[in-house]
Structure 1
Amino acid sequence: MSKRVIVLGGIAVVLLGLAGFAGWIFSLPSATAAASAPAVPQAETDAMLAALRHEGEGRPVIAVVGINDATETTDYLLPTGILRRADIADVVLLATEEGPVQLYPALRVEPDATIAAFDAEYPEGADYVIVPAMSRDDDPAIMAWLQDQSRKGARIIGVCAGAKVVGAAGLLDHRRATTHWYYLGEMLKRNPSIEYVSDRRFVFNKGVVTTTGITASMPMMLTLIEAIAGRAKAEAVARDIGVEAWDMRHASDAFRLTRPFATTVLANRASFWNHDTWGIALEPGMDEAALALVADAWSRTYRSNATTLAPSTSAVVTANGVHILPDVAKTDWSADKHVLVFSDQKPATALDRTLDSITARYGEATTNVVAMQLEYPR
């Protein structure tokens, strides 16, 4: 066979592959459906609050658990920051092993304890366990620990794709549930007995709560605060973080894979020579919820990532006691490559301001990609 035939054959394979790929792109919907969030019956809301109510004596114990090599940034830090701000429970950041937790797509933190140390201190288990998205759904230590916590009576809250982790542990079998729109099909394929519930930001069934995408942790944590400490406390925290209203409503059809989403991601990835690394200066006492949202958003553009800066490699302690480890020990980062955390703004406002900044830098299409990944109703 001649070299010419081999080369032409290779080109043909590439062209056929591109044609197939183009066919896939054009098979996607051109836009999300025009959708509104339907009302949720008050009885359903009341049942959710009753199921989450703390009946024991003293302050409840809430464990936020992750794996060390990759746990989702906002899923891990936003519940911690909001719940500690409320000061209605003992909130403990956990990891499966000793050492820092590398969050994705940005930030690195020191957990408060390992799951083994937590078990030694709280042999009766947590009252609530918050499960973020993780790089793997079937970590053996997480599987065994979640099953044990569930047996001890903990209410399990799977945030975003953390629902897949909860499902892998067998805790969603024959239950109603939801998850991040992108991972829904995967979760149902793995756990076909799950009854998917659309148009709900979070769903409770038999001791387990699951939520939709990343930013659902805001209304979910406010709901948990209301269940533990009452409506007035939840309203006060909502004002502090800049959330005007929260409930279970969600327009599920507004979040799906579309042609504009896919083509924007591909175009941004193709611009690898024009990739930005944005510096975020860590400061003691900064708001960890705002930090998580800002770093997460800038790292989901497919054009940029966020890196944290401080004068030394020592952990920087946030307003609510989270120990953030700087990525870089330097302060002379280029001034035009810094991004603001909007320290003078409330966390929800900081996210909105960040999305505006992303639009100014990369355009509305990229901002829509970020909001879609965060499953953030804009």
Structure 2
Amino acid sequence: MLRHFRVLLTGIVIYAVLSLTVFAGENQLQPGEESEVKMPDNGRMMKVYLPLNYSADKKWPVIFFFHGMNGSPTTAPIRYYTAGNDFVVIGLPYAAEKEVPKTAQQAEGILQKELANFYSARAWAGKNLKIDENRIIMGGISLGGWTTSTLAEYAMPRVAGMFILLAGRQREKTPPKNPALLKFMPVYIGAGEADPNIIPAFKAVASYRRYGAVVTYEIFMGLGHAPPQGAPPRFKAWLNSFGKWYAGTMTDDLRKEVDESLKGQLDNAMGKEDAQKYAVLLDLESDPSLSRSTPSVAAEISKQLNAARMESPGREESIAEKTFFELALQDVNMKLANELKAVRDGFKKLGYTYPETVFGKYAAAYAECLAQMYQKIMDASPSAMGAGAKKSSSVNFPTGESRARVPVIKYKKP
């Protein structure tokens, strides 16, 4: 009798394990494990991670992730930030990693290769996994962030959202292929406080907002060109809006959970000194889950933030931030030397007027960069500001792209 019971128990355990195993061709994928999978169209290897809570009885959001320069396909940063739950993560290889374009035609060819690479991975996921076609997310870090900004724009509407870490918008001065598709698209942009890419990141925020995207941005305080060790609060909230707090799967219990989370953060903010209180209230305003909460909770947060913006230092920070992004958009649009001078003067004035604010400090530093750029233009072409030049002389401005390697972080396995 005991022997039969042990056999039965063993069978149950084996069945339970097999029921969680996903057989994808020659691959056996286990929840909570990162596996290497050969892409069907080109034979390149991608990394696939199934969340710890994965089951085949529901559809899951998928994150397609591009690594930084000198890296390799990985899912580690995202599964670390999500505690290994709620998302299928696919770490993509680059289709043209060693190709350096010298002409616009070559650059377009590389773009098409990378798009085909993404579509191949997406098709594989649709065939082999239970994925939600309405929750396809593309994101990347450093080089992967720059890459994402271009590929996601071209892949719309097959991409529901994108995130850009430690980078900006790659084709900064080129309008998106289909700007209308960016309207209401969730976009997250995050960069280190001292990251060389922080200004391009800010300009990406301004650009995507202009096209109607719902942009959440975050500064990783105390960091340079490196990702935070812990999940950044706004990024975590942004991911949750596609995960457990996704609008299409909200229940009364989940809404109650959202309300309690937001109320707890609000109560915590009200007990802080003014500068910290304003910072926490800004985080709450940027939290996508705010749209999932009950109207009374959202209204209270809005009320407290508006009150903070009427007093110092919130008033100064708010004005400086608004002015900075207005100037950033002018920066993106400028083509003539006299426009550069006007933008430089605008940032310089902002830095002088609000020297103690976050964006006042960025404005002052960036104004110096623009001043140097303007001087080089004047030295190279003394007549650049002539009457005729104002109408016809255009200037090629650097984008500020950095290809610095992202420091390696030892991510703990969830």
TM score, norm. by length of structure 1: 0.33
TM score, norm. by length of structure 2: 0.31
- Higher relative contact order (CA closer than 8 Å, sequence separation 6+): 1
Bigger CA radius of gyration: 2
